[in-house]
Chain A
Amino acid sequence: MSYVKPKFRHPELPKNKLGYTVDYYEGALSTLCAGCGHDSISSAIIQGCYEMNIEPHRLAKLSGIGCSSKTPAYFLSNSHGFNSVHGRMPSVATGANMANRDLIYFGVSGDGDTASIGMGQFVHVIRRNLNMTYIVMNNGCYGLTKGQDSATADEGSKNKTGQVNLFESIDLASLAIELGATFVAQSFSGDKTQLVPLIKAAMKHPGFAFINVISPCVTFNNNLGSTKSYDYVREHVEATATMDFVPQMQEISVSYDKGSQKQVKMHDGSLITLNKLAEEWDPLNRQSAMNAVLNAKSKGEILTGLLYVNPDSKDLHHLIQTSDKPLNSLVKSELCPGADALKEINAGLR
């Protein structure tokens, strides 16, 4: 019996600017179910950080609770990490970020962790425009607790026990745009060509960068009738096997044509289309981005790619005018400038 990842890597792996090969950004061997979409996202994060030449010690991973929130153990072993309480990652991230503004903050959450128990924290961290990347690995269920419907499960989607979800789903991307998030994107775990650049852009974004990534739970939400299953999608493709349909399956493949529309089968027999940001939609315009998301939704489509970005984003430190120097590095002489300085201040207040 063995479940150990060999130490050997491909001998010709290229090095990034820091001289690291991609494996330097790996984490422990995943304990998630074989085929879980979350693992693909971890892999995209590893690739993104490698390509961005991130110094691992300059990055902090934060998460809540859930299969998704376990993933920080599976990437960036050489970075800082905080696995917090269920739904409370945003407050821990806020605290850390306040204390040390110089790190890159990388938050990972699930649809349960964000859209249910953590909803209160989520909306406020958006409002505050905390400088961080926030990824939701969205599988429409509570994977870790054996697959109960989450608040992002689509109305009409069937779970593993055959129960149909009666409730309207929470659309995290439109919610984020609505609340003023300054970077909002959507993607699919099976599409690294799209996801990696999005992660890289999000890490560069000065402010709150949100990526909602559809990430199938192979174990509990991969059944017939689920709107978040790959298996069902492929089975259906084979069943209908129309010529028009197959090329459209390329949404999980390498490249998209700008303005094109690609479809994934995600509903009981119905087609959900993944759109790349269409040309007439302005990613810099919140109203337009919002419309695009809502339009797509009304057609049963999921828009993926960059949805909205505000290049003029001002993060929390900027808004509350903290010192440029990280608070945790201020020494006593800077924090308590002494009696003379106090006298001067007092004199100025006379």
Chain B
Amino acid sequence: MKPTDIKDPEYFHKVVDCQYACPAHTPVPHYIRLIAEGKYPEAYMVNWDSNVFPGILGRTCDRPCEPACRRVRVEEEPVAICRLKRVAADNKGDVKRLMPQGPFKANGKKVALVGAGPASLTVARDLAPLGYELHLFDELKAGGGFMRSQIPSFRLPETVLDEEVNFILDLGIKTHFNHYVASMKELLTKDYDAVFVGTGAPRGRDLPDLPGRQEGKENIHLGINWLGSVAFEHTKKIGKNVIVLGGGNTAMDCCRTSRRLGGENVKVVVRSPFAEMKASPWEKEDAQHEDIPIIDNHVPKSFVVENGKLKGMTFEKVKAEYDAAGKRKLVPVGGPDVFFEADDVLIAVGQENSFPWIERDCGIEFDKWEMPVVDEKTFCSTNTKVFFGGDAAWGPKNVITAVAHGHQAAISVDIFCNKKDLVKDRLSPFVNLVSQKMGIHEWGYDSEVVIDQRYAVPQADKKVTLTNRKKEVELGFDLPTGFKEAERCLNCDIQTVFTETKCIECDACVDICPTACITFTENAEAETDLRAMLKQPATNKTQDLYVSDVLPTKRVMVKDENVCLHCGLCAERCPTAAWDMQKFFYNVTKAHTHACSK
């Protein structure tokens, strides 16, 4: 294999599993160390820069970082990255003084942001310090988008949401709430230099053809509409017996909200097997903890309505079968249909985009699925003035993805308004690599690896939370537990950097490495061969091999990044400092930093 090019920032970036997996590439280990040091405002600001909503995300993030965490491969449970973010947010103190301070000198450019969800809010935050005049539209009465209308207060208290939305609005954003934008054409005739569409995926999928759907409609609700109506306090009650259809996170929010609105016998019924449900494992756990059974392998057949009143639903029992290609088929197992009683049914079987307000003749091309054609890198539509991001771009995802889109769209808007090239004039990420050596056995980071298992986040008493819709269930880590959880982080951003010209091939690093990462071996042409030749064969192909140039003995050093603990022992035991532990800092360039360096 060719020597690894560690000058390519993406090589070391990939080693920082969590950061790499985070759509916004939040420098996770960096902020976790700040938490361990008790520097909560700093930890908050690292997050704020990257993901804009640390307090919100510290409670609700889909956390793609956690399954990626190295700790999963080394022991089992990832570091509680998400809940540590909350520790930073809960203890941040006054951070407003650390944020850009307006009023900002106007740059004469005007941008319309349609929809006030996380995507638009991110664009707003990134562009405001540059002096843009930003007009934010939403049909709802306040900002936050689905974070406000969909995510229930027992997961995300309104105060937390308000605070972080207001950090942005306070940068001088001109808000137009209770304002539905009914025509893109009309918007384009106004004097906006650019338009950003962050209108989300606002339409809940229905089951219109199921028998009884019409007759029972009084008590059959679309999950997201119902949640929105609860959030804005139009709906305050639900029947005793509730069926929630669907296996995603919306279904979990629906069933848990039902429990708080009078639902005593609430059950989730889902077509797929339990293990294949879309909901995150922790969402399922939380629902079950609130005495909500999840009944899998049941396909809805009909609503049972008697005398105009919904009585329940019938289901067909199925099982999952897989063909050779692994494709799933649900096949009936036979036997009579199953009946479940219900006073109300909530349908939470998916969401869709819909753009009734965008005329199809205003230069924005739509594909055969009625989705706008959007460039994956620039977020620009076929109308060069109009940008998309968040759920509006490629369908429903999550908050952190909307934020990541927002950052990129903001850069594009800024480049566009400055009449530069959206692709060529994008800046690469900010990267830095600094040695952590401070002395013998002395590193600039806490290199000790603790064996503590993941700490559980304490929850408020069920008796209280089930009777008060707004009472937050999770209490968050207290500081001592937060510290201990932070210590579980393996500091994957502290990279092992190898300099072959210094190596005397004494084997000390090979001998000391606790997880058998390092091998000195003859090289091989093919990566698969080299993987098999290592001291401990490198079976995890998603993890790279770090290959050195040829050494005096004609061998190469090969390090399997897979389960490196970043303990620094290789560097500590190396007599010549051929190994060094170097802190790698990688930060996605945002519109304001982008502008500064222009």
Q: Which residues of A line the B interface, CB within 8 A?
A: 1-13, 23, 30, 33-37, 39-40, 42-43, 189-190, 192, 216, 218, 230-231, 234, 237-238, 246-247, 249-250, 252-254
Contacts and interface: CB of A to CB of B under 8 A. Distances in A.
Given A8-B449, A190-B505, 18 more contacts: A1-B441, A1-B442, A4-B449, A6-B449, A6-B514, A6-B565, A6-B567, A8-B451, A8-B514, A10-B536, A11-B563, A12-B539, A34-B573, A218-B575, A234-B505, A238-B552, A253-B522, A254-B521
Interface string B413-434: 0000000000000000000000
B515 interface: yes
B460 interface: no
Contacts of A36: 508
B486 to A, nearest CB: 16
A190 B507 contact: yes
A257 to B, nearest CB: 14
Contacts of A216: 506
B119 interface: no
Contacts of A189: 507
19 contacts: A1-B442, A1-B443, A4-B449, A6-B515, A6-B567, A7-B514, A9-B514, A9-B516, A10-B516, A12-B537, A23-B514, A35-B573, A40-B511, A218-B575, A230-B506, A246-B552, A247-B554, A249-B553, A250-B554
Most buried by A among B442, B504, B536, B565: B504
A99 B532 CA distance: 46
Contact of A254 (B75, B443, B522, B573): B522
A247 B75 CA distance: 42
A226 to B, nearest CB: 13
Contacts of A10: 515-516, 536, 563
Nearest to A245: B552
B295 interface: no
B506 A250 contact: no
Which 9 pairs show the lowest CB-CB distances between chains A and B?
Answer: A35-B575, A6-B449, A43-B511, A2-B448, A3-B441, A35-B506, A10-B516, A34-B575, A34-B573
B553 A34 contact: no
Contacts of A9: 514-516
Contacts of B516: 9-10, 13
Majority SS at the chain B contact face: loop
A249 B552 contact: yes
B572 A253 contact: no
B90 to A, nearest CB: 29
Contacts of A218: 506, 575
A258 B471 CA distance: 77
B136 to A, nearest CB: 48
Contacts of A237: 552
Interface in B62-85: 73-75
B168 interface: no
Interface string B496-538: 0000000011111011101110000110000000000000110
Contacts of A238: 552
A254 B510 CA distance: 14
Nearest to A251: B553
B73 A252 contact: no
B37 interface: no
Interface in B556-580: 563, 565, 567, 569, 572-576
A2 B449 CA distance: 9
Nearest to A7: B451
B554 A249 contact: yes
B451 A253 contact: no
Nearest to A41: B511
A141 to B, nearest CB: 16
Given A4-B448, A8-B514, A218-B575, A250 B507 contact: no
Contacts of B576: 35, 231
A3 B539 CA distance: 29
Nearest to B571: A34
A34 B502 CA distance: 14
Contacts of B514: 5-9, 23
A225 B574 CA distance: 22
B447 interface: yes
A218 B441 CA distance: 18
A43 to B, nearest CB: 4
A43 B509 CA distance: 11
A246 B74 contact: no
Contact of A2 (B441, B504, B511, B552): B441
B187 to A, nearest CB: 55
B446 interface: yes
B565 A35 contact: no
A266 to B, nearest CB: 14
A242 to B, nearest CB: 13
A231 B442 CA distance: 25
Nearest to A23: B514
A253 B555 contact: yes
Contacts of B510: 43
A9 B515 CA distance: 5
A1 B437 CA distance: 11
B554 A253 contact: yes
A87 B358 CA distance: 91
Contact of B505 (A34, A43, A252, A254): A252
A302 B75 CA distance: 46
Most chain A beta-carbon contacts within 10 A, residue among B73, B521, B554, B573: B573
Nearest to B71: A8
A11 B74 contact: yes
A310 to B, nearest CB: 32
A231 B504 contact: yes
A140 to B, nearest CB: 16
A230 B505 contact: yes
Contacts of A42: 511
A190 B511 CA distance: 11
Contacts of A6: 448-449, 451, 514-515, 565, 567, 569
A292 B454 CA distance: 61
A60 to B, nearest CB: 23
A179 B563 CA distance: 50
A338 B102 CA distance: 105
Contacts of B506: 35, 37, 40, 190, 216, 218, 230
Contacts of A234: 504-505, 552
A27 to B, nearest CB: 12
Nearest to A26: B514
Given A10-B536, A190-B506, A33 B565 contact: no
A5 B569 contact: yes
B554 A11 contact: no
B553 A250 contact: yes
B572 A3 contact: yes
Interface in B435-475: 441-443, 446-449, 451
Nearest to A14: B536
A253 B553 contact: yes
A238 B522 CA distance: 19
B184 to A, nearest CB: 54
A5 B512 contact: yes
Given A1-B441, A40-B507, A8 B552 contact: no
Most buried by A among B442, B511, B554: B511
Contact of A252 (B521, B553, B574): B553
B513 to A, nearest CB: 9
Given A9-B514, A12-B536, A35 B508 contact: yes
A132 to B, nearest CB: 24
